[in-house]
Structure 1
């Protein structure tokens, strides 16, 4: 369905190669279109007042991003940056009304995605308030390696995504290595087996 939709937008799209760590767009810029990940991985980063970036969302192949700011006619509140060498499709439209005229199917699909992302954001906010750092770290490791196993995830990225400081992540991952949940000899966090990790998550009653 996604490929068929993009074919119908031939006059409004361009394909761009983005190198690892290269920004697709920066926070504060005006939204003039949105994007689709054809290949690679893109991270959405929140930038603090002192310039520090924190990983908020991850977009892999088949994902759209950057469209919410287009819908609301606001500037980008975050920075999108390639986490791997990526191929990105830029859809050049000025506003939601234009998109709805050109491709009502895609407009409808993205409206559903907005609702889904809002629900996910509310869920993560609840988890930050309700669950311990250990549970958030476990959930994040499982999500990252289940969804994007090809990426070399770092302790820092796990910390940013789980709302936990890097030191706490490293300390807890050392415990997980000790009990055989993570690879003992790997410098980076690497699950021994995803099913084992899933079973371990279920076995713990971490509040």
Structure 2
């Protein structure tokens, strides 16, 4: 049956999708400015299982967005995914967050640049072809007027930092798709199934999210 539960919590979008054979059956998500992942995630999982009419024992695998993204969001998603895998004794599949975001774009030319906000003018980004082949690895980079200048064809930008980058990335071949802001578990369905078919799974005990850069905890201010 190949039922896979997909979990995406790397951004403000808390998203869960149930897929069968790589096709989404049900998807529940909410993009909340207050990051309500801890409250919403398990509710979404329970609702999807109940509404789909299957049991947890029917799941063949759990897929989780591996990052980069929000430290807290990633921790919540990965912890939930690991817990389910342990309880059900099924494999864990890790899906590239930026690839899932790029998968929301349908173009036949140029390249796709998914970007997620990393504060100030720094972003997490990658470069994919129109057929979703990775042309450049994921980086945490500071955006300036020279960013992506070497790319001659169309460059389609998606993600939650389009607004802050528009004033800097002004070349004629740059296109901002503002309607595509966050990755979703819906696009994870195909990606996770492709990995499932070739047993591309991760170790449940040792898997950690891909934070890309160290999580910095601010020191408390002196009184």
| Bigger helix fraction | 1
> Is this a same-fold pair by TM over 0.5?
no
Q: Which has the higher strand share?
A: 2
TM-score of the superposed pair, with normalisation by structure 2: 0.27
